[in-house]
Amino acid sequence: MHHAARARLQVASELGAAIDEGQLCLEYQPIVDLRSGSAIAAEALVRWQHPTRGLLHPAEFIAVAEDNGHIAELGHWVLREAIGQLGRWQADLPAAGFQVHVNLSPVEVRWPGLADFVAEVLREHDVPAPRLVLEISETGLMTGDISGLETLIALRDLGVGIAIDDFGTGYSSISYLRRLPIDTVKVDQSLIADIAADGAQVRFVGAILHLIEAAGLRAVVEGIESLNQLDRLAGLGCQYGQGYFLGRPVRPKELARSLAGSAFRVRP
């Protein structure tokens, strides 16, 4: 416990300098149309190129940032970088509707100036609002308050897409989601872990996908890591997916080359 506490303090003391000194970067993981095999979006994932510990993933520093007050600064950096990259990509994107997804922490969602900040950065880079999708976890949504809901409504009114991430790990229901200002539901990878071998799980996932579609929302299944999982989801009529089998997170230049080469195919 003492070692863990010291490690968190070390991360907290170094994170502010990491933001200022350009140690952060974004990688992008494709979200793929399983019917056509083309990427329709990419999720921006922050990485910290630590000078001594190497490449750190969000699980190693996001919670610390939320606890010590760095999350607003970090979140602003990620939004500026992702929207700026989307602006640079616009001329070469494979489709007019290509989007970039950015994760929001519950702390950021409760910040009253978030919608104004997003609008300002979109204008700065001449990016249409519908090209941006902001994701908040199901757990974060359920533990939020009215100020967070007001922020989501303001973002929706701006034209930005809103997605619920990790659906299936919390306690929300489809009927509850229908009352929220969202348009996309990302189904958590834990729900498809055994889908290739468990017929009951296939039926369960199929029912979830059907309910999401009936609610007028778009479903994206996360964590697709094998051809067997992909086959089961295709048989259920799932249209959108994300996972290592379809494409790993990569730097912007590599993703741009993959998009240009139509590399995201669901069959050889």
Domains (ranges, CATH) in the chain? 2-260 (3.20.20.450)
Give mean pLDDT, residues 61-90.
87
Query: Which of these ranges, 42-51, 78-87, 258-267, has the smallest mean pLDDT?
Result: 258-267
The percent of residues in the chain predicted with pLDDT above 70, rounded, is: 87
The pLDDT of residue 29: 96
Rounded Cα–Cα distance for residues 7 and 236 (Å): 45
Lowest mean pLDDT, pick from 16-25, 58-67, 256-265:
256-265
Across 239-248, average pLDDT: 95
Which two structure tokens, joined as six digits, stand for 20?
């200022």
16-32 confidence digits (pLDDT tens)? 778 888 899 999 999 99
Mean local confidence (pLDDT), 194-212: 93
Pull the structure tokens for residue 75. 């979140």
Residue 171 pLDDT exceeds 70? no
- Considering only the C-alpha atoms of the chain, give the largest distance between any 2 of them, rounded to a whole number of Å: 52
- Give the Å distances, CA to CA, from 54 to 78, 166, 208: 19, 27, 39
Average pLDDT over residues 75-101: 86
Q: DSSP label at 22?
A: T
Higher-pLDDT residue of 177 and 136 is: 136
Continuous H helices in 90-197: 106-109, 114-124, 138-142, 146-158, 174-177
pLDDT grade, residue 268 (50/70/90)? very low
Q: What is the mean pLDDT of the chain?
A: 86
Secondary structure class of 188 (helix, strand, coil) = coil
Angle in degrees, 0-180, between the axes of helices 252-260 and 71-89, rounded to the nearest 10: 30
Total-model pTM: 0.90
SS3 of residue 123 by DSSP: helix
Report the C-alpha gap between 161 and 198 in whole angstroms: 34
pLDDT higher than 70, residue 47: yes
